[in-house]
Amino acid sequence: MEILYTDAALKELIKISTGDKKSAQRIVNKIEEYAGNPDGKYDIKQLKGNFGGRLRMRVGNYRIIFKIENETMVISTIRQRQEAYND
């Protein structure tokens, strides 16, 4: 599966890596692991409401919000859990 980051998601990932390189690396590793084997065991939930049609992956205190479109994983948001659902 191909991985596509939105501009906002890339900006957030760079911001995380500036302060916490270890967490940023864990996030990237989990995303790549999921893209390579989506049937594995991950903490993923289907979102509802304003985020309907998207999925949420939990990596420590961070939440990755994404959707699957034509065998492409489109990452839209990477934020800490307190801020992830505020938009």
pLDDT grade for 86, boundaries at 50, 70 and 90: low
Question: Which residue shows structure tokens 């940023």?
Answer: 24
Please tell me the predicted confidence (pLDDT) of residue 72.
93
DSSP secondary-structure letter at 51?
G
Angstrom distance (rounded) from CA 4 to CA 23? 19
State pLDDT tens for residues 63-83: 999 999 999 999 999 988 777
State pLDDT tens for residues 20-54: 899 999 999 999 999 998 888 888 999 888 888 89
All structural domains of the chain, each given as residue ranges with its CATH number in brackets, are 2-80 (3.30.2310.20)
> Is 84 a residue whose pLDDT tops 80?
no
